[in-house]
Amino acid sequence: MNKKLFIITFGCQMNEADSEYMARLFRRRGFSLADKLDEADAVIVNTCTVRQLAEDKAVSQIGRLKYWKKSHPEGKLFVTGCAAQRIGAKKIKKRFPYVDEITGARSIENFDRLLDSVYRKNKISGEEGKKEIPENTGPENIYRSPLTAYVTIMRGCSHRCSYCIVPSVRGPATFISREEIIKDAKEKLAAGARELVLLGQTVNSYRLSGFTFSNLLEEILVLPGLERLRFMSPHPLYFDRDFKRILKQNSRLARHIHLPVQSGSDRILKLMRRGYTHQQYLELLAELRAEVPDMSFTTDFIVGYPGETEEDFQETLRLVEEAGFTAAFCFKYSPRTDRPEMAADISEKIMESRLDILLKAVKKNSRVILRERIGKIEEVMFETPDFGRSSSNMAVRINSETAPGSIRKVEILSAERNTLHGKVIL
Ligand code: 5AD
Ligand code: SF4
């Protein structure tokens, strides 16, 4: 009998990669992915807690799964991820007694063993146990197009940005060994990926016995089958000279970097403990653009950090005007600790209004950035016959059809909202 697994993932790419990893462990035990909850023999809710709203959504999802559990009494419900870590197994069990297993984000390495204990019966009978399924069934690839695969290179974060709960739920930074990363990358390329995305909370801080992020990029960039390499999310403090050289020399390194800035106010950046100023951030963009003029940047902003004044917010708007972002994710500050000085002290009304103004400013500037691509040639990896992503991570549509999986040169003819339109020239 073929058993089915249904996964519900909240949050960031790290969580998506963890979900794929768990799916793979299930697959080795004879499970395949369910299209519908109702078909599932096992359900994973992989939770996020970066903002209160994210946690609330995950928690109410667990609440709704009560009905699934009622109609599938034999089914197993797993709760994993950052909210599971923050809230703790005891409290979750108390509130939702029908949850079978709880594994926090820090304990993902134990998930294989956990499954061994949960599905022991199968293993002993040997009917559909782990041993019957060959190990090399290939990686799961759930969240991106089949051309793109995630490769986790580090876990946790050793920064102490004042607003952020990640270091306390995921723990301090730990780096995966060079050998394991290369093995993972090779496997995913052999299974058909053409684009890899290296993942970590401060991905470019990777360093293990003197082997740096830049060294790692150079090793991965020469792997057979790799067409494009991305990484996320880097921290502005960790780009070294080697990185700039590699960026310039190797166009397989994507012409896009998602580089969270959080605020444009030096005062707020300092309170956030980000380690750079408005000016230093802009200088970094300028240095990277000096190597590759067509570089595209996206970012994250938080509005309404405790004590953020109108002047602070104006500095953020000024940064938007100066930086030339292709897009930005903008969030309202969400308190993640009980420390009184970290409580939200900006009214919801002002927070909403700043968010709205910021989103409009981002949109206005990104329109200009997209229009600047008109007349230029973009290298596009096609996900469907008429749609793909450029190396600069812009959505590109064409009027003709080309083979999904192919990489073609596309001349950009127009830009509409978030999408470029063009024609294949090569
Ligand atoms: N409140 C609002 N946004 C936050 N982020 C992280 N912590 C918080 C918080 N407490 C945002 C940051 C980060 C992104 C992943 O989430 O912008 O870059
Ligand atoms: Fe959080 Fe990123 Fe700061 Fe680490 S670097 S504490 S993950 S915002």
CA-nearest residue, atom 6 of ligand 1: 164
CA 40 / ligand 2 centre spacing (Å) = 35
Cis peptide before 233 (omega within 30 of 0): yes
Model confidence pLDDT, tens digit, residues 12-36: 999 999 999 999 999 999 999 999 9
DSSP SS3 for 23:
helix
CA 238 / ligand 1 centre spacing (Å) = 19
CA 88 / ligand 2 centre spacing (Å) = 21
What's the mean pLDDT in 62-88?
A: 97
- Position 1 confidence tier, pLDDT thresholds 50, 70, 90: low
CA-nearest residue, atom 14 of ligand 1: 300
- Position 131 confidence tier, pLDDT thresholds 50, 70, 90: very low
CA 303 / ligand 1 centre spacing (Å) = 10
- Position 121 confidence tier, pLDDT thresholds 50, 70, 90: low
Q: Are 115 and 137 in contact (CB under 8 A)?
A: no
Choose between 239 and 129: higher pLDDT.
Answer: 239
Ligand nearest to the CA of 53: 1
159 lines ligand 2 (CB under 6 A): yes
Pocket residue to mutate for ligand 2, from 12, 85, 154, 161, most atoms within 8 A of Cβ: 161
**Listed residue (257, 18, 5) closest to 150, CA to CA:** 18
Q: Are 215 and 246 in contact (CB under 8 A)?
A: no
| Cβ-based neighbours of 124, under 8 Å, separated by 6 or more | none
Res 26: pLDDT:
96
CA 313 / ligand 2 centre spacing (Å) = 21
155 lines ligand 2 (CB under 6 A): no
Res 145: pLDDT:
83
CA-nearest residue, atom 5 of ligand 2: 159
Rg (CA), the chain: 23
- What are the backbone angles phi and psi of residue 141, rounded to the nearest 5°? -140, 100
CA 302 / ligand 1 centre spacing (Å) = 6
What are 17's two structure tokens?
A: 């990669």
* Index of the ligand 2 atom closest to the CA of residue 201: 7
Q: Is the pLDDT confidence value at 122 over 80? A: no
CA 233 / ligand 2 centre spacing (Å) = 9
50 lines ligand 1 (CB under 6 A): yes
pTM of structure: 0.94
Res 110: pLDDT:
94
Q: Identify the burial level of 300 via C-beta atoms within 10 angstroms of its C-beta, where 0-12 means exposed, 13-18 middle and 19 or more buried.
A: middle
166 lines ligand 2 (CB under 6 A): yes
Res 146: pLDDT:
85
What's the mean pLDDT in 214-242?
A: 97
CA 168 / ligand 1 centre spacing (Å) = 14
* Index of the ligand 1 atom closest to the CA of residue 262: 17
Q: Is the pLDDT confidence value at 124 over 80? A: no
* Index of the ligand 1 atom closest to the CA of residue 164: 7
Pocket residue to mutate for ligand 1, from 281, 302, 336, 359, most atoms within 8 A of Cβ: 302
232 lines ligand 2 (CB under 6 A): no
Pairing label, strands 76-81, 101-104: parallel
Res 378: pLDDT:
96
Q: Are 256 and 230 in contact (CB under 8 A)?
A: yes
334 lines ligand 1 (CB under 6 A): yes
Cα-Cα-Cα-Cα dihedral sign, residues 147, 8, 201, 27: negative
Question: Given strand 256-258, what is the order of strands in its sheet?
Answer: 256-258, 296-303, 325-332
- Position 44 confidence tier, pLDDT thresholds 50, 70, 90: very high
Q: Is the pLDDT confidence value at 257 over 90? A: yes
* Index of the ligand 2 atom closest to the CA of residue 233: 2
Q: Is the pLDDT confidence value at 132 over 50? A: no
**Listed residue (324, 14, 302) closest to 166, CA to CA:** 14
Res 417: pLDDT:
85
Start-to-end C-alpha separation, the chain = 48
Farthest-apart Cα atoms in the chain, separation: 68
319 lines ligand 1 (CB under 6 A): no
305 lines ligand 1 (CB under 6 A): no
Ligand nearest to the CA of 276: 2
Taking the C-alpha atoms of residue 182 and residue 178, their distance in angstroms, rounded to an integer, is 6
